[in-house]
Structure 1
């Protein structure tokens, strides 16, 4: 009788298999556990609160002496990060990275003792600082080294997250252990690039919009957590510690030495020594940072409102630091006092520059955040914030007026209560104020910031994403319903994508999706809806555009559909060819399909399988691999992501869309395709190929295998049409008409994009399957408008094209 309960023998077998597969990870985990337990025993037996490094010697790198929770987290870090490093670059390189980054990180950090000015013996300090680290120094150094062997997605994520974390710890807390970790990460970055064989990766590779959102959201969240770490730290000497002090202290906590005459050295020491010791003080301190947390979560969702919210908060923090520390040429000398002039200057300048730099990066990359908030949510946010500001100001003024002690210049107290904009130079007078007034002043600012954070949740989509962010949810749902009931053309399902606007006929039986650039409205294919209503819809849409002063352009419509317009004097240009086949009768036989037969046979021999699924039903590991493949594909392109009639990972997430994934016997994703449905009378009668992505290591023929597998699947389902879609701005040579002078407009664009996106190569790939070809044209009403139409089409595909890239495009260099 079989049982699913694992026996001790099976458990030991699995454990031994894991140890054999990851020997370095297993040894490091054991050493961390043993040395940490030994350290605890020494502390208990020796009745001491600390463990001298001499008890461990070089094994100090493995000891965790700060508590059970820290030990559990460290063991988890060893398994996750050292294990991942060992999988990426092998055991030998993992050992080298572990040792080298530890030696470099701790060694260079120990040299800071040479700059000690307190009269200590340098030799003793070198030994002490060389052992003032924890296992995370080696763990972070190792995983950053291994990032060089990962794909673009995880290489960037590992490095950005590691740098963000160690930078926050170093800049806000500034302990020797934080410096060791930062140096280990830098050493790991360089070591990884040296160990990796292959062409050097210079510069910053392009990332998708989704990945840009993840990275910037992470940076903003870390920037919000950094001051909290510093406020909870027992001692902090980081460059951004002054900024943490600005956020953390307030009218309720006057600081000795801070007066209206400037910030003296005693004031700076007092600010840096301030520590949040109770929950109430911590709540007051972190209230402004909660706004950054909300903004960071909104950035993950692509919110443009979150971008500007983070920009405003970071700018406020920078201004607050500048005002607090009197960073003005005429008062700079007052800041230094008896402190080291260089260190203080760098620290204060960093506290101003870092938030401003973060805000600047967000502004420059704001185009990656395409989700605009609904107008009603923005209005609600402004009303709530203004009302809160009025109420807080009123409460402060009323409390000031009713105070038994006269208060001069009450409006200045109102400004001081709004923290962190309140300069500490006014706080030396607070002890003389009435206790009730001091409480109101201490709570007013944090309460206002908490209201701002709460009010920003909905417009940023931090918790509940706005389903109608562009105000077109109802129209998009209407278009989707009409498509499912009556169908559309080749681009039919693409009309449901974000970024499209909609027009519907008066009787509601047909609709048009379009994108407007300037005074040109470019349609996404032809009208969708009931076939007998589509021709009339074309004419009605053109008339509607003309009423609004726009030029209507039907992009990617069939020659038969265009006949309705050409009869009215419209001109046409060929822009693509739709390739389709009937999967019910299609086979791999025939000389022209030799490459397809070879690919299918090869996949069978190698055990490659095809998984047909919706995105939601894919295994998590498969989803992560697809995202990594897509990110690698984007990083290799010279131009930004294209859109309009070209989908990506976001479009694959639609529950109606299907993915077809090629997997090797170990479950590794080799390639992925996505398929858009075509409906008739509420039933799926066809699928259209959209996304095609593969790994660089995928064997030749994997895409041919996937398309053939799709045909087999559709044959079983009784599907009538398999469309290989249309390669934009590409036609077969025999199908191209003679140029008439304006054809060169789109030929130039297609030719320049060919090395980047391979549209014409894609057309040749589709020819392997012997499909039927159907010309698709661009129909325009007036040749005079062709230059503007060309710009509008390019903008539809490349909405984020920069001026530099546009110049390169015109010059034909991509």
Structure 2
């Protein structure tokens, strides 16, 4: 027996010891499920003699058993690691009892087996191990970090809610109740301090959450169409999507009985692959849109909004125009449940569209004009061709076709309102087939045409049309270099101006009639001074006011003869790492932090993002998301980077990890070049976990200095803390300086710029003042607003007023 084979039992035993509750549940699921399958084969049904152990039995087949075991290992195992064994037992038992117990009460509410519109058709005997699994992992989410707590809850609730709303099995109801119970139980079990209320998401996390919701909403109707007991509240919506001219619903005609039509819609199932393929055609568009949302596509937002709006309108017309839909239904309960079901089928897609419109600013990736035009031309030409085909076939039909407008509306395919189907059965078979195919084909064309503008498969590498300028800026930075903000000029969102000789450039962001630069000119040093005046003249020719933000005071002095004024806005802190040492009284805190980190086995890894292990990357993303969630303001930008900027292959990350490879903190460093080689690094992102030991950031910066000393780098910049300075300004305060001081004071409790500047002084750097250069004092109010909008483009008026009041 090989050593690897002999080690298997030992590893299995260690796993069982670490997660005993998970191991016991896996064993119970395996034993009860196998017994249930055997009894079902022998006796045709599973007896009720299992007692309370029935909650562990996945009795529908071998596949269900394997999937359930996998769910226990992954989800319950993760729960046990998060909150410990005894809490896992409590969560497993309590959420099962609450979910099945409260769900069992539905047996006393829903007593009519003939109810086709009711949500509560099942019986309290429909136990399912997934009730406990869902309840346990939602309970454990309270013990996870901000990022995974939100992801677990949103994903779990989205899945179980979709199953309940579309399929409507009683086991789905149990799972929803167990998830709700787990949410409450987790908050009760978690005794550590926790923040209440709404927790802010980063743009990236907002994209993930909304993309997940849209993908689930696309899969939900498919689940309902193939379900054998589709009685969910949104079953009418699935019927609107699934039924069409090729497979018309019995009783749905303009002069028919509403009850018969409604029952036909609620009992409609996609019984063959052909019908299912036609039914899912419009859902492909949602699938493409959901994938585009993950990539931050603004085009995907509007695509999903349009599809959800069309779906809601189709549902409203379908059920609103059928006469007598209330009087034909029997029983008050039926009428109430059916009315709620129809309203939900309209409200849910509308609500999804409204949320996307409200949060559209989180989707910052804009498609190129070429891709948008390509989408419009493709869809428009396809629609014209398909409608022409319908009209040609209709004209050649043996029987005269009246009202061609109905045929045009029927081209919506699966989303055509049923009120337009009344005459389709009398049409020529060939025309019926064409009309039935036109809609799905059109939706497939829309889905395929939307792939590129949404970036669902291939991201748009030139989303804002500035890729060429950005690459040109990178080339200038590599050759000639730049100032403190140099590499920040390559970030998304900047616009560019280049000198006529191509030896210098300026990156800026325009707000209204003000162009705020990202630092000073970059490129060859002897061309930067001239670039100041040329850029200012170019802005004036375009009717804009140029404002050089965060440039060195010596450079700004060249504008003084032309009447420009300056205001101090920050101080750059840098030193020469080639002479770096931790000796000296001023660096006592740094020396102590480094020695402590090394004693505790903490290591620092200098790497590009692409070379980091996947597990490390995921931890960094979680740390960054938690950092954003703790702030009460939107994400800042302009000269402050995040995870997206860390992905640049030219950027370096320095990661602090303990002996178990757990990420404690991370920093990112932007390069400075001269003559094609790196001569300096500038600190950008600083993130740490709440459990990281004190001094971990000092350890990381000291480790970076040692790395740069070994590499022979000339300059280590701790960057400039925006809107923060140590020395008092010489110039008297005026309007814009008061505004910037107000903003700095408001942001200090949130982002800690001034405390960050004090932190940097521990390393004994040299301080260089950075100023805002402006051409005209009259423009100062608009310049101040433009600077604030550059940092906080998503700041709402309500947030601004609230924080200004808090400052006062």
Query: TM tier, shorter chain?
Result: over 0.9
Q: 1:747 aligns with which of 741, 747, 751?
A: 741
Q: Residue 51 of structure 1: SS of its match in structure 2?
A: coil
Residue 395 of structure 1, CA deviation: 1.1
Residue 377 of structure 1, CA deviation: 0.6
Residue 148 of structure 1, CA deviation: 0.3
The residue aligned with 2:234 is: 240
Which shows bigger deviation, 784-793 or 621-630? 621-630
The residue aligned with 1:29 is: 26
Q: Which runs of 5+ in 1 are unaligned?
A: 121-125
The residue aligned with 1:622 is: 616
The residue aligned with 1:173 is: 167
Q: 1:344 aligns with which of 338, 344, 347?
A: 338
Residue 745 of structure 1, CA deviation: 2.3
Residue 735 of structure 1, CA deviation: 6.0
The residue aligned with 1:457 is: 451
Does the Cα contact within 8 Å between 2:99 and 2:181 map onto a contact in 1? Answer: yes
Q: Residue 554 of structure 1: SS of its match in structure 2?
A: strand
Residue 424 of structure 1, CA deviation: 1.0
Residue 263 of structure 1, CA deviation: 6.2
Q: 1:45 aligns with which of 36, 39, 42?
A: 42
1:357-378: CA deviation from partner (whole Å, max 9, x where unpaired): 0000000000000001101111
The residue aligned with 2:775 is: 781
Does the Cα contact within 8 Å between 1:109 and 1:183 map onto a contact in 2? Answer: yes
Matched, 1:761 2:755: yes
Q: 2:4 aligns with which of 4, 7, 32?
A: 7
Distance in 2 between residues matched to 1:117 and 1:534, nearest whole Å: 82
Matched, 1:211 2:205: yes
Does the Cα contact within 8 Å between 2:22 and 2:80 map onto a contact in 1? Answer: yes
Residue 59 of structure 1, CA deviation: 1.3
Distance in 1 between residues matched to 2:98 and 2:174, nearest whole Å: 8
Q: Residue 515 of structure 2: SS of its match in structure 1?
A: strand
Does the Cα contact within 8 Å between 1:240 and 1:350 map onto a contact in 2? Answer: yes
The residue aligned with 1:595 is: 589
Residue 252 of structure 1, CA deviation: 1.1
Does the Cα contact within 8 Å between 2:258 and 2:324 map onto a contact in 1? Answer: no
Does the Cα contact within 8 Å between 1:60 and 1:131 map onto a contact in 2? Answer: no
Residue 336 of structure 1, CA deviation: 4.3
1:61-90: CA deviation from partner (whole Å, max 9, x where unpaired): 111122222222222211111011001000
* TM-score between both structures, scaled by the size of structure 2: 0.97
Q: Which runs of 5+ in 2 are unaligned?
A: 115-119
C-alpha spacing 1:331/1:480, structure 2 compared with 1 (3 Å)? farther
Distance in 2 between residues matched to 1:591 and 1:119, nearest whole Å: 83
Matched, 1:222 2:216: yes
The residue aligned with 2:289 is: 295
Q: Residue 373 of structure 1: SS of its match in structure 2?
A: coil
Does the Cα contact within 8 Å between 1:262 and 1:326 map onto a contact in 2? Answer: no
Q: 2:271 aligns with which of 277, 286, 305?
A: 277
Does the Cα contact within 8 Å between 2:103 and 2:124 map onto a contact in 1? Answer: yes
Residue 416 of structure 1, CA deviation: 1.9
C-alpha spacing 1:588/1:735, structure 2 compared with 1 (3 Å)? farther
Distance in 2 between residues matched to 1:625 and 1:638, nearest whole Å: 22
Distance in 2 between residues matched to 1:737 and 1:216, nearest whole Å: 48
Distance in 1 between residues matched to 2:580 and 2:400, nearest whole Å: 92
1:257-304: CA deviation from partner (whole Å, max 9, x where unpaired): 212147611111101111111111111001011000000000000000
C-alpha spacing 1:575/1:132, structure 2 compared with 1 (3 Å)? same
Matched, 1:440 2:440: no
Q: 2:52 aligns with which of 58, 83, 88?
A: 58
The residue aligned with 2:673 is: 679
C-alpha spacing 1:570/1:6, structure 2 compared with 1 (3 Å)? farther
Which shows bigger deviation, 284-293 or 339-348? 339-348
1:37-116 equivalent positions in 2, closer than 5 A? 37-46=34-43, 48=44, 50-52=45-47, 54-116=48-110
Q: Residue 742 of structure 2: SS of its match in structure 1?
A: helix
The residue aligned with 2:499 is: 505
Distance in 1 between residues matched to 2:576 and 2:724, nearest whole Å: 23
The residue aligned with 2:117 is: none
* TM-score between both structures, scaled by the size of structure 1: 0.96
Residue 803 of structure 1, CA deviation: 1.3
Q: Residue 800 of structure 1: SS of its match in structure 2?
A: coil
C-alpha spacing 1:116/1:746, structure 2 compared with 1 (3 Å)? closer
Residue 127 of structure 1, CA deviation: 14
Q: Residue 567 of structure 1: SS of its match in structure 2?
A: helix
Q: Residue 575 of structure 1: SS of its match in structure 2?
A: strand
